[in-house]
């Protein structure tokens, strides 16, 4: 059972435990549990909808459940800003989608259904991006046949930015970036993977955090083959349904053979 399912089950069991002293509705349209999962991104562009890892408009991950455990209609769900600044920063449209209205570094929202209220979720409303660039100026490379196979990787970083004329560059933390491998030297490698640097799980995207969106490229070398080659990875992001300027950006990673230190 997933963590979110366990949370829903626990809430329903808690409600059932109160039945001895309080009447608990079993109506399929009366909310008894509320689930508000992690937001699909931690920032939305002013005037645009909140986008997920696939860069498409994303539904907020909130659901309410009745006493029987069935999902309740979205029409009973409300997304509310917890303070005046938060309420002015966003609006909701059909399909539980969120739109950025005015720039705000921190927006706090809760979900409500009937008398239930979720924990607070936070995100930012950021200005429209003007570009995407490499997060590091150095040329990336991987020693693809290194004896320690666990070290055959390279962290790739890109930054989504706003810079107008001579203004200071602003890093737009919280926005999603999508990555995909577009090619690699098949004479040297059997395969490559993109994974999360934290969990090690397969990943196709990352969120701007600390000034960069970071994903890990892992390589799997063919046995007894030596040479040089490349892996190419494409990084992209979108706003208002179209790629931002400079997107996609192509990252070329050099494949370098292992050599013993002299």
Render pLDDT for 242-255 as a digit per residue (tens, 0 to 9): 999 999 999 999 99
* pLDDT bracket for residue 148 (50, 70, 90): confident
18 pLDDT higher than 50: no
Residue percentage of the chain with pLDDT more than 90: 69
User: What DSSP assignment string belongs to 170-188?
Assistant: EE-TT-EEEEEEEEE-TTT
Cα distance between the two ends of the chain: 54
Say what the pLDDT of residue 159 is: 96
Render pLDDT for 89-140 as a digit per residue (tens, 0 to 9): 999 998 899 999 999 999 999 999 988 999 999 999 999 999 999 987 666 8
Q: 8 or 145: whose pLDDT is higher?
A: 145
How confident is the prediction for the chain on average, in pLDDT?
A: 87
Looking at 23-32, 130-139, 252-261, which range is the least confident one? 23-32
Which whole-number Å values give the CA distances from 195 to 70, 91, 97, 171, in the listed order? 35, 34, 28, 23
14 pLDDT higher than 90: no
Residue ranges and CATH numbers for the domains of the chain are 3-126 (2.60.40.1080), 131-256 (2.60.40.10)
> Cis bond leading into 109, ω under 30°?
no
11 pLDDT higher than 50: no
Task: For residue 13, report the phi and psi dihedrals to the nearest 5 degrees.
Answer: -65, -40
13 pLDDT higher than 90: no
Taking alpha carbons only, the member of 39, 37, 41, 60 closest to residue 207 is 41
Say if CB 226 and CB 145 are below 8 A apart: yes
Say what the pLDDT of residue 22 is: 36
Looking at 4-8, 43-47, 152-156, which range is the least confident one? 4-8
The residues, any chain, with a CB within 8 Å of residue 225's CB and separated by 6 or more, are 145, 187, 188
Cα Rg for the chain, rounded, in angstroms?
Answer: 23
15 pLDDT higher than 80: no
The arithmetic mean of pLDDT across residues 182-194, rounded, is: 96
Q: 13 or 166: whose pLDDT is higher?
A: 166
Say what the pLDDT of residue 262 is: 64
- Nearest-angstrom CA–CA distance, 10 and 207: 31
The arithmetic mean of pLDDT across residues 237-245, rounded, is: 95
Say what the pLDDT of residue 138 is: 62
Say what the pLDDT of residue 147 is: 87
Render pLDDT for 41-99 as a digit per residue (tens, 0 to 9): 999 999 999 999 999 999 999 999 988 778 888 888 999 999 999 999 999 998 899 99
Q: Give the global pTM.
A: 0.83
């Amino acid at each position: 059972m997933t963590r979110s399912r366990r949370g829903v089950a626990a809430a329903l069991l808690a409600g059932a435990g109160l039945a001895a002293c309080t009447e608990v509705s079993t109506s399929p349209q009366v909310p008894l549990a509320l689930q508000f999962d992690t937001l699909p991104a931690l920032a939305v562009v002013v005037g645009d909808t909140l986008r997920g890892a696939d860069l498409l408009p994303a539904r907020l991950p909130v659901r309410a459940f009745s006493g029987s455990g069935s999902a309740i209609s979205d029409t009973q769900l409300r997304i509310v800003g917890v303070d005046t600044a938060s309420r002015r920063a966003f609006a909701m449209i059909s399909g539980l989608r969120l739109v950025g209205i005015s720039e705000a570094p921190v927006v706090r929202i809760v979900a409500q259904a009937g008398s239930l209220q979720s924990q607070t979720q936070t995100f930012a409303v950021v200005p429209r991006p003007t570009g995407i660039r490499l997060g590091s100026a150095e040329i990336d490379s991987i020693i693809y046949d290194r004896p320690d196979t666990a070290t055959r990787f390279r962290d790739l970083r890109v930054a989504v930015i706003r810079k107008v004329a001579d203004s200071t560059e602003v890093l737009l933390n919280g926005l999603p970036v999508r990555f995909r491998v577009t090619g690699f030297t098949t004479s040297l490698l059997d395969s490559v993977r993109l994974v999360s640097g934290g969990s090690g799980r397969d990943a196709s995207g990352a969120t701007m955090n600390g000034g960069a969106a970071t994903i890990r490229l892992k390589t799997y070398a063919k046995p007894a083959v030596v040479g040089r080659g490349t892996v190419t990875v494409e990084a992209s992001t979108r706003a208002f349904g179209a790629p931002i300027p400079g997107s996609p950006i192509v990252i070329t990673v050099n494949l370098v053979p292992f050599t013993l230190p002299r």
